[in-house]
């Protein structure tokens, strides 16, 4: 009976010794489940944030439309210029400067706006700078009444504009 009591005491001692281990295992298991749940929540939050961020981002710029919006006032002024072009040739220097001034002004404004746009490639930037140079030459011709050079510079402008429009997948200028 002493042996049985001793054996029983050993079993109780062994079980008592295992109780903290079992308790610790249960606690570790619970901690792992909590950590897993927290990780799943963080991943879900990150996915939701990424989705919201993607939805909140504006669409990429439409460079073709930006170009057209920038040059449209110049196109309108050019049409007005050609409507009165015949009168300019016989006008006095003061008269032709007054007639050319609105057209020259729109060219200058458009050129400044084109320079402020960050174009999507080096090629487009180069082609836009060619448009700016050619249109500036036309403005100079208009300001100085350099009628013999005007058609040459207008052709350069048309060619440069065609290159930019091709770069931006726009139809050629009309």
pLDDT digits 0-9 by tens, 59-110: 778 999 999 999 999 989 888 877 876 665 667 777 777 888 999 999 999 9
Say yes or no: 157 and 71 in one domain: yes
Identify whether 174 is part of a domain: no
Evaluate if residue 172 carries a pLDDT over 80. yes
- Tell which of 15, 35, 57 closes a domain: 57
Among 22-31, 36-45, 68-77, 87-96, the minimum mean pLDDT is found in 22-31
Residues 45 and 84 in one domain: no
Do 21 and 73 have their domain in common? no
Within the chain, residue ranges assigned H as helices are: 2-56, 63-90, 93-116, 122-144, 150-167
* 75 within a domain of the structure (yes/no): yes
24 and 5 belong to one structural domain:
yes
Domain residues for the domain of 117 are 63-167
Same domain, 26 and 78: no
Q: What is the mean pLDDT of residues 2-25?
A: 58
pLDDT of 134 strictly over 90: yes
* Whether residues 99 and 144 fall in one domain: yes
38 pLDDT above the threshold of 80: no
Instruction: Count up the domains in the chain and report the number.
Output: 2
Q: Kindly state the tokens that stand for 7.
A: 């054996």
pLDDT for residue 146: 85
Q: Are residues 71 and 128 in the same domain?
A: yes
Q: 3-class DSSP state for residue 52?
A: helix
Burial of 92 (0-12, 13-18, 19+ CB in 10 A): exposed
């Amino acid at each position: 009976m002493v042996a049985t009591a001793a054996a029983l005491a050993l079993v109780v001692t062994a079980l008592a010794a295992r109780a903290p281990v079992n308790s610790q295992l249960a606690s570790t298991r619970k901690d792992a489940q909590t950590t897993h749940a927290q990780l799943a929540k963080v991943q879900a939050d990150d996915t939701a944030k990424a989705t919201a961020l993607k939805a909140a981002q504006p669409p990429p710029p439409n460079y073709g439309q930006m170009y057209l919006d920038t040059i449209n006032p110049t196109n309108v002024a050019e049409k007005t210029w050609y409507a009165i072009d015949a009168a300019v040739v016989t006008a006095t220097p003061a008269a032709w400067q007054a007639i050319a001034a609105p057209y020259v002004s729109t060219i200058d404004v458009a050129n400044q706006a084109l320079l402020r746009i960050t174009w999507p490639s080096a090629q487009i930037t180069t082609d836009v700078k060619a448009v700016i140079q050619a249109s500036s030459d036309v403005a100079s011709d208009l300001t100085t009444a350099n009628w013999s050079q005007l058609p040459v510079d207008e052709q350069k402008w048309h060619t440069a504009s065609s290159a930019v429009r091709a770069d931006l997948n726009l139809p050629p200028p009309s």
